[in-house]
Amino acid sequence: GNSVTQMEGPVTLSEEAFLTINCTYTATGYPSLFWYVQYPGEGLQLLLKATKADDKGSNKGFEATYRKETTSFHLEKGSVQVSDSAVYFCALKIGSGGGADGLTFGKGTHLIIQP
């Protein structure tokens, strides 16, 4: 089946530190890959996506590159801010049929940025 593995944390960093949140996946087909973010008290928001190998998704200073050879989609940011404190979810979606139509999510990584 399909699965997503990510570090759960909490991950605690100081402001302006470099961030990496690892995400690896297994998929029965060719997936699209997504990062969603959930800020405290808010709903899930799409952060970025990549739909084919070697694509790079980027948004709000965050980046992730679709690595088919290592089945990974690690999230990076060069300089984090306190406002980046949130829970980050890696997810995949493959084609239609057989119950595979929804997103498959990782467990989420709780990120805490200290001033």
Partner 1 sequence: GAGVSQSPSNKVTEKGKDVELRCDPISGHTALYWYRQSLGQGLEFLIYFQGNSAPDKSGLPSDRFSAERTGGSVSTLTIQRTQQEDSAVYLCASSKTRDRVSEQYFGPGTRLTVT
Residues near partner 1 (CB under 8 A) are 30-32, 34, 36, 42-46, 49, 51, 89, 91, 93-99, 101-108
CB of 99 to partner 1, least distance (A): 5
Nearer to partner 1, 76 or 105 (CB): 105
Q: How far is the CB of 17 from partner 1 (least distance, A)?
A: 26
- In DSSP notation, 37-98 reads EE-TTS-EEEEEEE-STT-EEEETTEEEE-BTTTTB--EEESS--GGG-EEEEEEEE--SST
Nearer to partner 1 (CB atom), residue 75 or residue 80: 75
| C-alpha–C-alpha distance, residues 50 and 35, integer Å | 9
